[in-house]
Amino acid sequence: MSDDLLQRLREALGTQHVLTDESDVAAYIVDWTGAHSGRALAVVRPGSTEEVADVVAACHRAGVAIVPQGGNTGLVAGGVPDGSGNQVVLSLGRMRAIRDIDPVAGTITVEAGVVLADVQAAAAAAGRLFPMSLGSEGSCTIGGNLSTNAGGTAVLRYGMTRELALGLEVVLPDGRVWDGLRGLRKDNTGYSLKDVFIGAEGTLGVITAAVMRLFPPTPVRATAWVSVPDTASAVTLLGLVQAHAGAHLATYEIVNRAALDLVLTHLPGARDPAPGATSDWAVLVELAGTSDLDAPLEAALGEAVEQGLVEDAAFAGSSAQRSTLWALREGISEAQKVEGATLKHDVTLPIADLALWTDRITPILESILPGVRLVTYGHVGDGNLHFNLSPPVVDGGNGGDALLAAAGELTSAIYDSVAAARGSISAEHGLGSTKAAAAASYKSQVEVDLMRAIKDALDPQGLMNPGTLLA
Ligand SMILES: Cc1cc2nc3c(=O)[nH]c(=O)nc-3n(C[C@H](O)[C@H](O)[C@H](O)COP(=O)(O)OP(=O)(O)OC[C@H]3O[C@@H](n4cnc5c(N)ncnc54)[C@H](O)[C@@H]3O)c2cc1C
């Protein structure tokens, strides 16, 4: 049966786009973290919506599961196959066309495999802004962004990917194509079908193209790296910046000392922007607009200093200095990867509870694994913390083993405490295969039943990315 399917796929795509050699498939079967890998029956690389539909229909007839894959930068092992060797990885990497751009309507129509940075560049070339920005933007694709409902550093002002999407084209699990590529702002004609596929992590179909929103550019920036004593001060400062800057507030990111130290250690040329500060926390705050924004930022920070919320602030005086500050924030994932074992958590809490939550969870984790390093950073303006744990520094270098041994207990403590605060255990990375079971245990039975009903209605054979999102 698998030989028949491979033959059919080769006829549909051409032999060169059906990869089965070990060396050819290697990059597609291991995730970005390197911690999760599997085996694939084949990796297929269709070049058009019609070819995607052919692949999906052929797999449907053969009863073979499909794992869609974009840039493979996901952090929850949702885009790599399991260990069975029976799944087909469907890479969107050849579908990189920008089909249309309409600056006046504020829309761009792109194929799913277009890399996020290329969408940004195409928008800029047309005098518009595509605001979504992630540390992985040089590799992740718009199809992956939609499928994970990605967040990033511009959510505070522009919203998650879902809020940037107007229409989708999707190949359904039986191979039919749903053409929902409409750029309409107003369309009250029933269920919002696009929203079913956004954040579905490839479990309901393959997104092949999308109409995304564009915005007027915001070329003027005011950026500062601000040392704050604690998370409570960071949250209070957020309110002050909002009051002074209003809709100009574009980014509000938090970084703790452990995260900054990792970047200073591993990012070539990185320098501490506030070397004299003793604070354990810093925020990267940026205003964006079309006219000078230094005044509102200085006013907010001046008031914060008077209230004892700020220890030190470094302003970016040029775009080069701005890039230097941003590199510190964006280098954290890479720096932590260099250090080896990491327990990643991506949680959201009501902003008002953030400070209390971090104060409450820290001693609990310390009691489970003394010396565990909390590498905390993230989009605090969205209530979202990347709450990652690195091993204790121990003689003999066995800290990683201790972290892995305590992993279950540490993660359960974090998730229990997030659930108790009515937060979310996955703010923006999705569930993949690593968090699917945990998510089900923190959702109500009604919520799980609704999700299963949608899955069963669209993919009754369960062939779209099994094991991801729904355990
Ligand atoms: C350094 C770094 C920084 C990051 N920062 C952020 C951040 O700030 N915010 C954030 O949200 N995420 C972040 N991520 C995670 C990741 O980049 C995002 O989840 C991104 O949206 C994944 O896109 P991708 O193209 O790489 O998708 P992949 O990793 O290839 O796939 C992700 C999931 O989507 C599915 N999928 C992919 N393409 C399609 C498609 N066309 N149709 C159907 N299903 C599909 C896959 O099956 C999988 O389940 C970061 C990752 C890294 C490595």
Q: How far is the CA of 140 from the centre of ligand 1 (A)?
A: 6
pLDDT of the residue at 41: 98
CB of residue 140 inside a 6 A radius of ligand 1: yes
Q: Verify whether ligand 1 is closer than 6 Å to residue 151 (CB atom).
A: yes
Q: 231-245 vs 354-368: helix axis angle to the nearest 10?
A: 160
- Cβ atoms < 10 Å from Cβ of 193: 12
Terminal C-alpha separation, the chain? 27
The confidence score (pLDDT) of residue 3 equals 87
Mean local confidence (pLDDT), 386-410: 86
Pocket flag, ligand 1, residue 251 (CB < 6 Å): no
CA of 157 relative to ligand 1 center, distance in Å? 21
Between the CA of 272 and the centroid of ligand 1 the distance, in Å, is 30
- How far is the centre of ligand 1, averaged over its atoms, from the C-alpha of 364 (Å)? 31
In terms of pTM, does the model score above 0.85? yes
91 close to 45: Cβ distance less than 8 angstroms = yes
Phi, psi of 379 (to 5 degrees): -95, 75
Cβ count within 10 A of residue 422: 9
Ligand 1 mean position, distance from CA 370 (Å): 33
User: What is the number of the ligand 1 atom nearest to the C-alpha of 31?
Assistant: 29
pLDDT at position 96, please?
Answer: 98
Nearest residue to 423 via CA among 382, 376, 390, 389: 382
- List, in sequence order, every residue forming a beta bridge with 44; answer none if it has no partner: 18, 90
* Minimum CA distance residue for ligand 1 atom 28: 72
Q: Which two tokens stand for residue 282?
A: 């810093």
Ligand 1 touching residue 203 (CB < 6 A): no
Comparing 94-108, 258-272, 308-322, 391-405, the range with the smallest average pLDDT is 391-405
- Ligand 1 pocket residue status of 144, Cβ below 6 Å: yes
Amino acid letter for position 170:
V
Residue 341 — pLDDT band, cuts 50, 70, 90?
confident
Ligand 1 in reach of 81 Cβ (< 6 A): no
pLDDT value at position 396?
Answer: 62
Amino acid at 171: V
Report pLDDT digits (tens) over 128-153: 999 999 999 999 999 999 999 999 99
Residue from 142, 147, 387, 424 to probe ligand 1 pocket by mutation (most atoms less than 8 Å from CB): 147
Residue 398's pLDDT is: 64
